[in-house]
Amino acid sequence: MKKSITAGILSAIVWGAGQFYNRQYLKGIMFLIIQFIVFLNYQYFYNGLWGLITLGETPTRIEGGIAIHGDNSIILMVKGIICLLVLVIVLVLYVLNIRDAIKTGELRNKGEKLPSTIESFKQLWDKSFAYIMLIPAALFVLFLVVLPLIFGFCVAFTNYSAPDHLPPAKLVDWVGFENFKNIFRLPMWNQTFLGVLTWTVIWAVVSTTTCFFGGLLVAVLINSKRVKFKKFWRTIYILPWAMPGMISLLIFRNLFNGQFGPINRLLREYGLIQQNIPWLSDPTLAKVTIILVNLWLGFPYFMALMTSVMTSIDKELYEAARIDGANASDEFWKITLPLVLYSTAPLLIMSFAHNFNNFNVIYFLTEGNPINPAYKFAGHTDILITWIYKMTLNNKQFNMASVMSILIFLLIGSISAWNFLRTKSFKEEDMI
Amino acid sequence: MSNAAYTSRQIIIETNRRSATSIPKGIDVLITVLIYALLILIAILVIIPLIWIIGSSFNPSSSLLSATAIPKNPTLMHYKRLFTETKFLQWYWNTLKIAIANMILSVVLTTMTGYIFSRFKFRGKKIALLSILVLQMFPSFMGMIAIYMLLWQLQLLDNHLGLILVYAAGQIPYNTWLVKGYMASIPKSFDEAAKLDGASNMTIFTKIILPLMKPIITFVALTQFMAPWMDFIFPRLILSSNSKKTLAIGLFDLIAGNTNNNFTMFAAGAVLVAVPITILYVALQRYLLEGLIAGANK
């Protein structure tokens, strides 16, 4: 039998055995030690997987006034997923161990001189420079991004919710697609979902377009030849973008306060209104106010981008156009506008996705209020993301919140993926 | 011949110029006036809320009802109250600390990943790139409960380190793509030449690539420094004790339940937070815009 195959089989049976067979003892011992560690901890893997599959079997009981702690389903689930991730890493190491044995075996087949362990580590460093540099970031992403997302995904298929399935007192169980069915089956959920989704889409479209065209208008005004002190105007208009958004929003929440706010007070003083205008507490008016405030917050971003695009347009372009007989309005419609739109259009889609999940504007202005009695856990101005937030933190409806997150992901994910697949960096990437 | 072409060209320019200025002078002036009127109107709308909040912070009374933009008896009382009655200074320090730590950690992590993904070919690269692309599309809320449980198990709840780790990890997917996109504009011939001279990967990275990445690093550093000043969701989830709060939660709690009574104190806090951040933003807007446009055309 060829040496490479023998070494591979040996390593597949006992980690590092192939390396011993190849007389690379130090490396062999290292793999062997890893295997020992894994096998010594078999209990950990067993418990982890058991927890993930069953989500615990003994609920907390109260005997004689003393609580006897049972299984905490959610901790079991988190630990189970961690265990699964560790298992994947172990599997990768196992495959590496076999591959290494085969590769060295092949060298021996050809009768070439074998690198010592030290040498092979140096080779490894050069060859796997990319992997080694990525390890820290990969660990971060694995445990703080991927793990929570897998968990969130799993929760959508459980009954983890108040009041009957809330650990540590009660157990949580897998329920399959029950939650997804409920959204479409139970009228209360159904109605809330459709209502909130409709407003979310309207909000995302209107807020993005108002800011985009508001920004465009101001940029065009500033850029006009008639305007002097361009930098001065720009600096003023950029202020809302430079201010911390949360603070601006809290300021507006007070400005528009129906009872004590200065806007109503001024209007009353001048006799323009007799009664307070419910800026943020009337369902329709609140939506209008939110969009106007968002315009204040959002137009500077586009204005800033567009003016910087406009100033970077080659002056010769205009010269050439003028020679060909273009007048000022031609210059604007046929040169400036297309170039500005071309370089800001991708941001339009990103901005749409951002507004779709714009938690801050809604939460800090109205907290989703006024309350809508026909909705489950949501108010009139709640968008999907604030509804999810409330369901999670206030109402502990974790399962339904996860279902909504998945639906949002499918929606926003497909839009951004479509947007992204058209971008330069994806097309030009010569991926292996 | 060329002379004739030149003169005909001149004539066209001249006629165009005349047609451009052929608008009657009255209308021309009117348009200019209208543009300026519009500019001034927008400027007023932009500035009024800012003046109002600054004015309010000097109001003697503490309620929203009597807060006016131009106070009759201006006072610094609320600034004093802010430092004595709340833990404002502590929140400020917490936020600054988290912002700086997050900035450093994020820059280190993403310049490395961006460099690797743009310059190296390796097995699994496509899968890795696609998966971080998908990851950045999930709403961050989805992982909230798990992050809470994980930090609880690691005993990092109500701990700034926990928050910093969450921030630094969360930015990796998006910023990796951003940095990688920027790196594509740096010619590969630079690093190839250095490689021929026998420079190691590490030397190439630190001596050649890093200096060229300055604009995009500034962008990542700036946005990551800013994030903790405005983020609400994660500090709310992770930090619970009053002395550990960041400014975002501290200020929100100041007026969330008690709008009418703490309003001027909130105004003072808002001014103290907004002024430095705004100045920083305006001063560094060039880098921000460059980064944003790079992100759009990546």
B127 reaches A (C-beta below 8 A): no
Q: What is the pLDDT of residues A43-67, one digit of tens each?
A: 889 988 898 888 888 877 777 777 7
State the architecture of A186-428 in CATH terms.
Answer: Orthogonal Bundle (1.10)
Domain boundaries, chain A: 3-176, 186-428
Angstrom distance (rounded) from CA A361 to CA A293: 8
Can you give the length of chain A in residues?
432
Which residue did the predictor score with more confidence, B15 or B125? B125
Q: How far is A326 from chain B (nearest CA, A)?
A: 8
As a whole number of angstroms, the distance between CA A18 and CA A25 comes to 10
> Distance between CA atoms of B243 and A135, rounded to whole angstroms?
35
Quick: pLDDT tens for B169-221: 989 988 888 888 888 878 888 888 888 888 888 888 888 888 888 888 988 99
Pick from A146, A234, A243, A305 the residue to mutate for testing the B interface (most B CBs within 10 Å): A243
Specify the pLDDT at position B98: 96
Residue A312 near chain B (CB below 8 Å): no
pLDDT at A431 over 50: no
Contact state of A78 with B153 under an 8 Å Cβ cutoff = yes
The terminus-to-terminus CA distance of chain B in angstroms comes to 47
- Mean pLDDT for A4-19 is 88
* Residue A426 CB coordination number (10 Å): 17
Q: Kindly list the domain boundaries of chain B, sorted by start residue.
A: 86-296
Interface test with B, best of A73, A77, A144, A218 (most B CBs within 10 A): A144
- Can you read off the two tokens belonging to residue A119? 């040498």
Mean pLDDT of B248-258: 81
Residue A178 confidence (pLDDT) above 50? yes
Q: Report the pLDDT value the prediction gives residue B297, as an integer from 0 to 100.
A: 61
Does the beta-carbon distance from A130 to B39 stay under 8 Å? no
Q: Tokens for B276?
A: 């430095």
A305, B293 Cβ separation under 8 angstroms: yes
pLDDT at B22: 58
Sign of CA dihedral A239, A240, A245, A248: positive
Phi-psi region of B90 (alpha: psi -120 to 50; beta: other; left: phi over 0): alpha
Could you tell me the two tokens for B159? Answer: 């701990």
A-chain residues within 8 Å CB-CB of B270?
247, 250-251
Using alpha carbons, list the distances in angstroms from residue B198 to A133, B202, B234: 20, 11, 46
Q: Between chain A and chain B, how many beta carbons pairs sit less than 8 Å apart? A: 270
With bands split at pLDDT 50, 70 and 90, how would you rate the model's confidence at B298?
Answer: low
Q: Which are the contacts of B103, defined by CB distance < 8 A and separation ≥ 6?
A: B221, B224, B225
Can you give the pLDDT at residue B5?
47
- Average pLDDT of chain A, as a whole number: 85
More confident residue, A124 or A133: A133
Single out the residue of B182, B165, B275 nearest to residue B220, CA to CA. B182
CA Rg, chain A, in Å? 31
Listed range (A19-33, A213-227, B130-144) with the worst mean pLDDT: B130-144
Torsion sign over Cα A243, A245, A247, A250: positive
* pLDDT interval class at B1 (50, 70, 90): very low
**Average pLDDT of A237-248?**
88
Rounded Cα gap, residues B170 and B235, in angstroms: 14
Query: Residue B17: what pLDDT?
Result: 52
Which residues 222-251 in chain A show a CB within 8 A of chain B? Answer: 222, 224, 226-227, 233, 235-248, 250-251
Which of A152, A227, A265 shows the shortest C-beta gap to B146? A152
Is B275 or A117 the better-scoring residue by pLDDT?
B275
Q: Which CATH number fits domain B86-296: 3.20.20.60, 1.10.3720.10, 1.10.150.120, 1.10.760.10?
A: 1.10.3720.10
Q: Is the pLDDT of residue B10 over 60?
A: no
Q: What is the mean pLDDT of residues A250-269?
A: 86
**Least CA distance to B202: which residue of chain A?**
A129
Measured between CA atoms, the residue of chain A closest to residue B252 is A250
H or E, element range at A425: helix A424-428
**What confidence score (pLDDT) does residue B231 get?**
87
Gap from B193 CA to chain A (nearest CA, Å):
18
Residue B9 in this model has a pLDDT that exceeds 80 = no
pLDDT recorded at residue A214:
94
Residue B101 has pLDDT above 90, yes or no: yes
* Predicted local distance difference test score (pLDDT) of residue A173: 86
Percent of chain A with pLDDT over 90: 16
Are A372 and A379 in contact by the 8 Å Cβ rule? The answer is: yes
Collect contacts of B54-60 with beta carbons under 8 A, ≥24 apart. Answer: B54/B267, B54/B271, B56/B263, B56/B264, B56/B267, B57/B264, B57/B267, B57/B268, B57/B270, B57/B271, B59/B264, B59/B267
Torsion of CA A250, A254, A257, A263, to 10 degrees: -130
| Percentage of chain A exceeding pLDDT 70 | 97
Flag whether pLDDT at B3 surpasses 80: no
pLDDT in tens, A208-232: 999 999 999 999 999 888 888 888 9
Interface list for A 288-307 with B (CB within 8 A):
296, 304-305
Average pLDDT over every residue of B264-280: 89
